[in-house]
Chain A
């Protein structure tokens, strides 16, 4: 475990220094910061739009950070030969792989936490709101986003053991898009009586393989109409468990591929 933590710590320290990630993070922060100035709606609408828009910014920025950060994690180590000095030590490939992933997720989590903190500050300032009870719920959605982005990072990590970074970028981005935007479409296809059985079978197949990223988008009923949350705690727990289960499966597949990879 100590080996994994050492690798994670180094990965984290390196990730937060990567210029490209820092730029994406700064752009995200800037948009979160200027969000109030973009609204021309009524006070009540403003509150909803501000939160929705800012959460969208956090989600988009985090998705970009998750992919850009993860696709280069393993290839960079191979290209720079650091992997050879590490694997020549008593370090198993599995430990290296998990350590890299955890370091990346920690960096991602820190950046998401910073954006969420800014969202709360901006909201408090704009709404003249100082009550913790009113402000704390704003942090709920980003918690599920963090699971969502950790899942996306696991997708990219899994692919990084098999394909080149540029291919991985589009592949992981594609999985995220399909899992987010087309999840509802596939579900409709599956449930529609008039759909051809072959199309239905295909939809079932895709839905059963791809992670449903929509499961973590609880704040937007337009995107996620089926998310009728009766028991919020149970929903959060089940979504987290769903995300963690997918992450575990993806990491296991990635580890098997990485263990067989020659470099």
Chain B
């Protein structure tokens, strides 16, 4: 599999009043593999949408290079194999779902009515196809948005907050559709604040903070380093002292007659459990605490805000 998206030192600088220059995106180096679901995360104003707009050639990069399937983003042939679903999309309200699809199909020169109907069925809107968009719920509008983004059978989809503001049912429907895209071999580039969704469906992620990539990699690698928490009570002091001395990579603390041992998941808990079982202690719980994307995200953003440069 080759690269679907590659960016090299992609930078977008805006000049504000007083000739002040702001780097909204700075030296961005991304590589998205073909066929993967890639999560693009970052706090508000981090440069996510600006990056997507540069990749779609809606705005021009100040410097750097971006290619899609090896072609420059300003190559019109690229636009035949990609699609985009913007955040909170709006469609011409006077049109029906069917007319919207016909309109977008016409932009590709597609006149295949059967294809439009098949897509309406795929997003579960076939029965509502003759209703005007103004009567569509938010979830239905998002689904018609996904349908229009599939008209050209794209190899790469850009989805900006695809589940934002949806009710739980619509949310699950959209998430399942995105998973279907992967099964169909499509590459999906998602920008989202829904970290639980990203964690569930993405293969790799990048976290952008203040226009720069702060973390990038496979989710399993980025989320490695979970912890195990063992709680026991009535632990004899000798055992507690012994564990404190032995477990140099863990944290052993006592509170309200309870011993809490916090170990990295690379460390087997058997040693602690055996020591506790050999005494009068009662083991209350053994909880594996897997590192979540939310933890990684917060950690990354906080690292950046407490960095000396940020403080300055």
Contacts and interface: CB of A to CB of B under 8 A. Distances in A.
With a 10 A CB-CB cut-off, give which of A6, A14, A85, A262 has the most chain B CB atoms: A85
A73 B106 CA distance: 20
Contacts of A262: 59-60
Interface stretch (A76-84, A161-169, A178-186, A230-238): A76-84
Interface stretch (A88-96, A201-209, A217-225): A88-96
Contacts of B69: none
B66 to A, nearest CB: 14
A13 interface: yes
B103 A89 contact: no
Interface string A1-30: 011001100100110010000000000000
B154 to A, nearest CB: 10
B104 interface: yes
B86 A84 contact: yes
A261 to B, nearest CB: 9
Is the interface on chain B under 10, 10 to 19, 20 to 34, or 35 or more residues?
20 to 34
A88 B59 contact: no
Contacts of A3: 106-107, 109
Contact of A87 (B58, B88, B148): B58
B108 A89 contact: yes
Interface in B229-250: none
Interface in B53-103: 53, 56-60, 76-77, 79-80, 82-92, 94-95, 103
25 contacts: A2-B106, A2-B109, A3-B106, A10-B95, A13-B95, A14-B92, A80-B90, A81-B87, A81-B88, A81-B90, A84-B53, A84-B58, A84-B84, A85-B84, A85-B85, A86-B107, A87-B56, A87-B58, A88-B58, A89-B79, A89-B152, A90-B79, A90-B107, A90-B108, A262-B59
Interface of A: 2-3, 6-7, 10, 13-14, 17, 80-82, 84-92, 262-263
